């Protein structure tokens, strides 16, 4: 699957959630999708958690 197909599927899920269950369910589903995407990238090694924590602490890296 490419990014366009995944994006379209995610948009369809969010749109149906909004229409059927309402705005707050839409927000909850979107937040759950975001958390799942970030967790998947951490597991794949695409996000460096230590570097991300340093950014939130205000530390900078030259690399």
Q: Which helix (H) or strand (E) covers residue 14, if one does?
A: helix 3-21
Residue 62 lies in a domain: no
Output Rg (C-alpha) for the chain, integer angstroms: 16
**Residue ranges making up the domain that contains 33:** 3-57
**What pLDDT, on the 0 to 100 scale, is given for residue 63?**
58
**pLDDT value at residue 18:** 95
43-54, pLDDT tens digit by residue? 998 888 888 888
10-residue stretch averages of pLDDT, the chain, 63 residues long: 89 96 96 92 89 84 59
The model's pTM: 0.74
Number of domains in the chain: 1
Tokens of 19: 């229409």
Output b/e per residue, 27-46; b: 16+ Cβ within 10 A.
Answer: eebeeeeeeeeeeeeeeeee
For residue 45, the 8-state DSSP code is T
13 assigned to some structural domain: yes
pLDDT reported for residue 62: 57
pLDDT at 8: 93
């Amino acid at each position: 699957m490419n990014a366009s197909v995944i994006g379209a599927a995610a948009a369809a899920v969010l749109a149906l959630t909004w229409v059927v269950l309402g705005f707050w369910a839409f927000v909850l589903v979107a937040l759950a999708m975001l958390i799942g995407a970030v967790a998947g990238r951490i597991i794949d090694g695409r996000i460096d958690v230590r570097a991300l924590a340093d950014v939130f602490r205000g530390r900078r890296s030259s690399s």
